[in-house]
Structure 1
Amino acid sequence: MALTSSRTAVRSTSEGGITERIEARFGLLALFVGSIWAAFFISAALPGLHLDSLGVIPRRVVGLRGILFAPFLHASLAHIMANTGGLVILGWLTMWPRLEGFWSALAGSMIGAGLCAWSLGAPGSVHIGASGVVFGFAGYLIARGWYTRNFLSVIVALFVMFSYGISMLFGVLPINPLVSWQSHLGGTVGGILAARLSAPAHRK
């Protein structure tokens, strides 16, 4: 009888731990994506604030603040909707097995996207949007599978490659002048570097 009770207690503790981990990740992702939507609604409701001016402005010192703010700013409803799906799906995948993966991928993609847009963007342009983060998440997940060679990480990497590979390829090419390919390229590189730097931790 005591053995049965012990097993039940261990099972309950394990299930509770998994539930808490899922809730923590869901809450963080909801807060992150929700803040992006909140910024969009504020910008749409109060156009006089000119929040878009907080984006990345190439080769201007003031434009470096866009590294932090650009992912939270979007030009239209179609723009933010196009990025939301990738943020949710890929962002969720970066959170497993460790929540630190999300922070690493986010930091790498934001810094990479921002610096690349600042360095290579057209003079006078302003780069906004979270697509650089989406590309960074994708790059991180693909590279993580390569560097860790963990079975589940490889499966996730293959899923991302087959689901987003084509759009990633065309997204980093200077095809559409209205699309910040610089942010896409920088975000991808930043995500890959983040995966490389965190690879030893994933192997443990």
Structure 2
Amino acid sequence: MKKENIGQIASDFKTQVVILASFVAIMWIVEIADFVVFRGGLDRFGILPRHEIGLRGILLMPFLHGNFPHLIANTIPFITLGWLVMLRNTLDFWIATVTIVLVGGAGVWLFASPAYHIGASGLIFGYLGFLMLRGIFERSFAGIALSVIVGSAYGSLIWGVLPGRPGVSWEGHLFGFLSGVLAAYFVSRKTKSVL
């Protein structure tokens, strides 16, 4: 491997670490502030379906969590799946993230139950949908292999798109997953058009 290639890989990895660390740092800072200063009051900035004020939650939902166990449960899958999304191209992460936040958030706002919906799990399920379907859309060996690996490691999460435990936004999971699939379709078309 050429020295320039190693340098590019190291540079890309550093960028990816900074992006993921920044997202996670914001989530933790917001939750600490919510716990210490606002006593849980920031949760009302989540998505409130079919209320105009709830539209702001489309952008804010991934950064708000109900408590520290909720945030801890989301941190590792966010880092792992987020990094796998950007593994081939960091731009894929941004396309997937914007699509999941906007399209998935709009789905929650339009169709979810009337309560505040918060948490990064919509993004996590979106990344899961992206990774599981991208290889199929691309019809590439590497993409399908990654889809199989992600499906084996995280496939059991898929049941989270169905109604289950009270207080868990299964709608956020469902619309996150579906918007991740949509993002995978967009990215696979972009990749094919470049080839």
For normalisation by structure 2, the TM-score amounts to: 0.93
Aligned counterparts of 2:110 and 2:123: Cα–Cα separation in 1 = 17
CA-atom RMSD, angstroms? 1.5
Secondary structure of the 2:34 match is helix
Is residue 135 of structure 1 aligned with residue 114 of structure 2?
no
What is the count of residue pairs matched by the alignment? 193
Aligned twin of 1:166: 156
**Residues 112 and 183 in structure 1, CA contact (< 8 A), matched pair in contact too:** no
Aligned counterparts of 1:13 and 1:160: Cα–Cα separation in 2 = 30
Aligned counterparts of 2:147 and 2:37: Cα–Cα separation in 1 = 40
Secondary structure of the 2:2 match is helix
* Aligned residue among 50, 57, 61 for 1:66: 57
Is residue 103 of structure 1 aligned with residue 94 of structure 2?
yes
Aligned-residue offset at 1:48:
5.4
Give 5+ residue unaligned stretches, structure 1.
1-9
- Give per-residue Cα distances to partners, 1:117-141, cap 9 Å, x unaligned: 2122222x10000000000000011
Could you say which structure has the larger radius of gyration?
1
Aligned counterparts of 1:146 and 1:172: Cα–Cα separation in 2 = 21
Aligned twin of 1:24: 15
The amino acid that maps onto 1:98 is N
Aligned counterparts of 1:171 and 1:22: Cα–Cα separation in 2 = 31
Aligned twin of 1:33: 24
The amino acid that maps onto 2:155 is G
Give 5+ residue unaligned stretches, structure 2.
none
Percentage of pairs with the same residue: 36
Aligned counterparts of 2:101 and 2:85: Cα–Cα separation in 1 = 15
For normalisation by structure 1, the TM-score amounts to: 0.89
The amino acid that maps onto 1:29 is L
* Aligned residue among 187, 190, 194 for 2:179: 190
Aligned twin of 1:6: none
Aligned counterparts of 2:153 and 2:104: Cα–Cα separation in 1 = 21
* Aligned residue among 87, 93, 103 for 2:84: 93
